[in-house]
Chain A
Amino acid sequence: MIRFWQKRFSSDIKTKNLAIDKELATLKKELKSEIAKKFASSLAIRMVDSGSCNACEAECNALSNPYYDLERFGVHFVASPRHADVLLVSGVVTLNMLPHLLDAYEQLPSPKWVITLGDCALCHTLPDSFAIAGPVSAHLPVAHHIPGCPPAPDAIIAGLLAFLRKL
């Protein structure tokens, strides 16, 4: 432990000076002000994967890494749909997930919005199959779509911003 701290004090701060480009910084700033205006500085999102390949989830997780750190701007991924403003759905809707997706949507308090994440949600990525119950919009009222396969973290931020501006 002592060895570590000796080394630690003699080395640099490990997370400083991350290269964040201007465009992203502007996006984040705008996102923050939009959330402050329209969601009292706190936008709660419940993410549901109804049949993705997990890349969309990985990119969503990447939103909380030090490059993006979305929590700072008031975006929270919450554990229960009952705490959420937005249901963020990724992936095609599989037959096995359909009842659970509808159930999760029911649990969201109104007013509520559905945002789809990634092109699977439109059924544009994989061929159709017997086990796929169609795109998300066939089952839920979709307020906004964030395109990409998967959308990169900055594309997700831009997508959320576009959604907020529409409101």
Chain B
Amino acid sequence: MRLIARFAEQLPDGFEVIDIYDSQTQRHALPSTDPAIDSIAARYPAALWFERKMHDDFGIRIANAFDTRPLVHHERFPAVHPMRKEFTPGKLQLAEFKPYKYEAIEGEGIFQVGVGPIHAGIIEPGHFHFSQEGEAILHLEVRHFYKYRGIEKMMEGRDPADGFAIVEKISGNESVAYQIGYLNLLAQAADTTIDENIRKYNAILLELERIAHHLTDLGFIPNDAGFGAALAFCSMLAEDTRRMLHRLAGHRFGFGAVRGETKEIDKDALKKFVAHLRSEMEFFRDWIIDIPSLWDRLDTTGRLATTDAKKYGCVGVVARASGVALDRRDEELYRAHGWRMVTQPGGDVAARFKVRLEEVFVSLDIIEAMMDFAPARMTYDALRDGSYISYVESSLGELMQYLRIEDGKIARYFARDPSFINWQALHLMMHGNIIADFPLINKSCDLSYAGSDL
């Protein structure tokens, strides 16, 4: 079984911990006083962050946990459990500094390198803590949640349809994906299905988002290995893609684009764009594949074994580049419209690069095949109370969203960004690598901080 998410919610008579696996869902009822649950992190390593977050958010004690450090609450975060219903929203003040004990390997000649939260480039904040033996990385601890904005709590008590304005701003690179997943939740609550025309329109936007994201990476990965020309080339095409998205959806990142209706699009312009991008990417593929000094840096760097990827339940490009055939687009509509699974066995930076490159072509095929939609519009007014789960394949991987509606209002919202899982597997890619290759490895995964931090 693959663990997808483990999260808690508060009910009138206690707490509930929900474990979502790929084949089943388990619900555990906990009492309201001293709630505690057994850790499953020994069996599912990626459960660790879920459990630590659950403790911070709700004060649920994790029995037999081997790691009880706070996760989302940092050194100066006050001692509160803000996701509890009785927690009254109000301004929190910075509290007394409580030191955080990093995972560190110690010994003669071994030293620690801390990187972040503010990094050298134009990047989101997060902390990487290395134990080094000379240049070789012995261990990496990824410490995030600097951008913890309290999204889950923001959603509570709102009208479900108002949630769009928040979910679209959780992670800019996945905005369309978040909106599509959220629309799916509302459709379930309204006991309706999303019209195929709307799904096709949404799919076009989602693939454009994916192309823009993949192109950025296809530029930045070679750039981190000292090959700047690829960045100039790909960032130019990424800009073209953003402009195309702006033309179709009225926004460069697709904010506000998915609301359960199609918009009229300039199909000729889109066709021209697809043809142009395909020929440019064919050129790029021929070009980049023939640069041995670049592949020297990418090959065998930052390897994630298939067994590890499965054990951690990795998703998205990271999983597919480690030979795990996992893609939420593996369904009827996409299969009939140009989608195919792209995997690579290597698990290294080169494999992730190749998966992204190939997926750009797949996305172009999908856009071309999905273009024949007719105008359509759906309503989601009468929303039934209940809990709903949706999945969508964002540019980073499988995105899960959970929504519980009670008395017509949002009682609980939870999003499991693909990055939340993949970040936890990042340290596995470090063994046998030198610290100078870390930026390259990190970029090849290109995970979201904002999405994972919530």
Contacts and interface: CB of A to CB of B under 8 A. Distances in A.
Interface residues of A, number: 58
A126 B169 contact: yes
Nearest to A2: B290
Given A1-B290, A97-B147, A129-B150, A53 B236 contact: no
Given A129-B89, A130-B91, A67 B77 contact: no
A76 to B, nearest CB: 12
A36 to B, nearest CB: 24
Contact of B169 (A53, A67, A80, A153): A53
Contacts, number: 165
Given A15-B233, A54-B450, A66-B236, A98 B94 contact: yes
Contact of A15 (B94, B123, B173, B236): B236
A8 B117 CA distance: 42
Interface in B232-261: 232-233, 235-236, 238-239, 242, 252-253, 255
B120 A95 contact: no
A79 interface: yes
A3 B290 contact: yes
B171 interface: yes
Given A54-B172, A131-B82, A96 B166 contact: no
B169 A66 contact: no
B443 to A, nearest CB: 12
A116 B117 CA distance: 19
A47 B122 contact: yes
B216 A55 contact: no
Given A53-B170, A54-B448, A100 B125 contact: yes
A112 to B, nearest CB: 16
Given A104-B118, A130-B89, A7 B286 contact: yes
Interface in A55-74: 55-62, 64-67
Given A49-B124, A57-B123, A96 B233 contact: no
Given A8-B287, A126-B169, A129-B153, A96 B216 contact: no
A59 B253 CA distance: 10
B109 interface: no
Given A125-B169, A152-B252, A53 B118 contact: no
B90 interface: yes
Given A52-B450, A95-B77, A96-B74, A131 B150 contact: yes
B328 interface: no
Per DSSP, chain A at the interface is: loop
B235 A62 contact: yes
Interface string A111-154: 00000000010000111111111100000000000000110110
A53 B149 CA distance: 10
Interface string B202-242: 00000000000000100000000000000011011011001
B121 interface: yes
9 contacts: A52-B124, A58-B173, A65-B239, A80-B120, A96-B72, A96-B145, A131-B148, A131-B149, A153-B239
Pick the 4 closest A-B CB pairs, nearest first. A55-B172, A129-B150, A131-B150, A65-B235
Interface of A: 1, 3-4, 7-8, 11, 14-15, 18, 47-62, 64-67, 77, 79-81, 91-92, 94-100, 104, 120, 125-134, 149-150, 152-153
Given A51-B146, A95-B74, 14 more contacts: A11-B283, A51-B149, A59-B252, A65-B239, A80-B120, A96-B72, A96-B77, A129-B153, A130-B87, A130-B92, A131-B82, A133-B91, A133-B94, A153-B239
